[in-house]
Amino acid sequence: MGLDTDTIRRDFPVLDRTVNDTPLVYLDNAATTHTPTQVYDTYDDYYSQYNANVHRGIHTLSHEASQAYEAAHDRLAAFIGADSREEMVFTKNTTEAMNLVAYGWGVNRLDAGDAIVTTEMEHHASLVTWQQIAEKTGADLRYIRVTADGTLDMDHARELIDDDVELVSVAHVSNVLGTINPVRELADLTHDHGGVILVDGAQSVPTRPVDVQSLDADFLAFSGHKMAGPTGIGCLYGKRGLLEEMEPFLFGGEMISHVTFDDSSWNDLPWKFEAGTPPIAEGIALAAAADYLNDIGMDAVRDHEAALARYFIDKLDARDDVEYYGPPGDVERSGLVSFNVDGVHGHDLSELLDNHGIAVRAGDHCTQPLHDILDIPGSVRASFYVYNTRDEIDRLLTALDDAQQQRDTLLSNHYHDLIADYYHNPTNPDGLTNATFRKHSAETSCGDEGEFHVRVDDTGRIEAMGFQSDSCAVSQAVASLLADHLTGANIDTLTDLDGTVEGLLDGDFPDMRRDCVVGPEEVLQAGAREHLIDT
């Protein structure tokens, strides 16, 4: 029997709102899920009834807060099959949980000659963290290959995981491919060689039953905001023996047992890893989120998501203008699908879908190396949760039907003819190999970024400009427009470009290719003023 989505949706008032005068379709759940009233009522109850610090005060409110906070550890431990609260550390998010393992265990355990194994589909929270630890310790870092069908090459895994391997770090579920990795098989292989395994459960714990003992995971990290809970709270599960051996990497109040001017000793588990005032309300609310999901049933959550993903993939298979990534629809996979529409940049598509009230995620999803392997600059990701329906997927499919037409309209009518012209006929879009300076540029509101390349002659005149960008069509067009307009101008023109693009589009901006000569030293000074990197 499927989920009663009508009843579930009533628990999420945000789903009743409109975006661009259209009912909201929220399909960005792999980034952050929405929060039901049962969870934020718990949050509100803490602040309105017993707001106090935990383990600090001998008064009623502090006692009540401490009991609720400790019970939250118990409930989260039970949610993932841990033995007790001592194995459940509250952190800020999955990233902090993984860093706790890296700096509490990895730095003190790893050395030259040791090896860390991870995969090509890892989130940056894992990949970058273990890059840094390998650099600090001298350990070797190895990557299990991803096959053409989006799964791990387990033959390659068996080659890489040998007696030198101290740690394997693997995503349980890929946040791009939707692949469900064989964690138990990897755990057995790791343990056979005397290593430990860290599981990134950010995409699995919220969406399917997870039992750390069945997986035989040594560590498991996950976040609250992806499982109907609040932001700012995550968890690290660790086998008790490993946590007892580890050193804390945050120090201060709460995590200590005894302090003198000469030395300190640490508190019991899990508190020795929770320095300072912890996220009390967030922890209590996260336990409420786990209770909410338990009431639905994690088997039902998994089945509902998988059914929506299969339905969406079946529809995409019938199209010739969309490519999706990861295992095919007849293979078990999670409830997220990353895809691209031919000829439409992901950022443009995300904006066009937003005009239909549909929220998706576009970009590299913190997996740049994986997107390099896929040979794409980014992708659009639709991710489903307990409140999503087939009707919402049908709305997404309808919006995709005219995405190409909308894109052309967006470029040629909504913005400016110049935008379309410069997008289709860019100026030096591959950058310059012999640039004098390079300047990184980013648009924080949408995540677009790129790099300008500037070549300057001895007189201070811009000989050539180019750019490198995997951003949306509009961003690429604007970069091309600026590169063309500024070529021939003096380097000093780069110090004040406010209003330049608007002026060019309005057709009333003065010619900047004026005769003005400066020396090479002034060229370098001008570059320094603009924080350009001398190449």
Q: Examine the domain organization and report whether 216 and 94 are in the same domain.
A: yes
Q: Examine the domain organization and report whether 168 and 190 are in the same domain.
A: yes
Per DSSP bridges, beta strands 322-325 and 336-341 are antiparallel
Assess if residue 51 is contained within a domain: no
Per DSSP bridges, beta strands 165-171 and 196-200 are parallel
The pLDDT of residue 415: 47
Q: Examine the domain organization and report whether 301 and 241 are in the same domain.
A: no
Q: Examine the domain organization and report whether 129 and 196 are in the same domain.
A: yes
| Domain end call among 408, 429, 454 | 408
Instruction: Count CB atoms within 10 A of the CB of residue 189.
Output: 21
| Domain end call among 408, 436, 460 | 408
Nearest to 365 by CA among 386, 340, 387: 340
292/36 Cα distance (integer angstroms): 8
Q: Examine the domain organization and report whether 302 and 399 are in the same domain.
A: yes
473/460 Cα distance (integer angstroms): 31
Q: Examine the domain organization and report whether 153 and 242 are in the same domain.
A: yes
Assess if residue 109 is contained within a domain: yes
Q: What is the 3-state secondary structure (H, E, C) of 47-103?
A: HHHCCCCCCCCCCHHHHHHHHHHHHHHHHHHHHHCCCCHHHEEEECCHHHHHHHHHH
52/217 Cα distance (integer angstroms): 35
CATH code, 328: 3.90.1150.10
Q: Examine the domain organization and report whether 370 and 424 are in the same domain.
A: no
Select which of 235, 366, 446, 516 is catalytic: 366
The pLDDT of residue 443: 58
Find the farthest-apart pair of alpha carbons in the chain and give their distance in angstroms, rounded.
78
Q: Examine the domain organization and report whether 125 and 247 are in the same domain.
A: yes
Q: Examine the domain organization and report whether 401 and 444 are in the same domain.
A: no
CB 54 within 8 A of CB 278: yes
Q: Examine the domain organization and report whether 115 and 257 are in the same domain.
A: yes
Q: How many domains does the chain have?
A: 3
Residue 235 a catalytic site member: no
The pLDDT of residue 120: 98
399/395 Cα distance (integer angstroms): 6
Assess if residue 290 is contained within a domain: no
Structure tokens at 443: 């648009």
Assess if residue 235 is contained within a domain: yes
CATH code, 181: 3.40.640.10
Assess if residue 471 is contained within a domain: yes
- Residue 404 is which amino acid? Q
Assess if residue 59 is contained within a domain: no
DSSP string, 158-215: HHH-STTEEEEEEESB-TTT--B--HHHHHHHHHHTT-EEEEE-TTTTTTS---HHHH
pLDDT along the chain (535 residues), means of 10: 90 97 97 97 95 90 96 98 97 97 96 97 96 97 97 98 98 98 98 98 98 98 98 97 92 84 86 91 98 98 97 95 90 94 85 94 92 91 98 96 67 52 74 81 60 85 81 70 80 70 61 42 38 33
Q: Examine the domain organization and report whether 222 and 334 are in the same domain.
A: no
The pLDDT of residue 516: 40
The pLDDT of residue 448: 61
The pLDDT of residue 19: 96
Spacing of C-alpha 495 from chain mean position = 34
> Would you mind telling me the total number of residues written for the chain in this entry?
535
Assess if residue 500 is contained within a domain: yes
Query: Containing domain of residue 437, as a range?
Result: 420-534
Q: Examine the domain organization and report whether 364 and 475 are in the same domain.
A: no
Segment 114-158, tens digit of pLDDT: 999 999 999 999 999 999 999 999 999 999 999 999 999 999 999
Assess if residue 457 is contained within a domain: yes
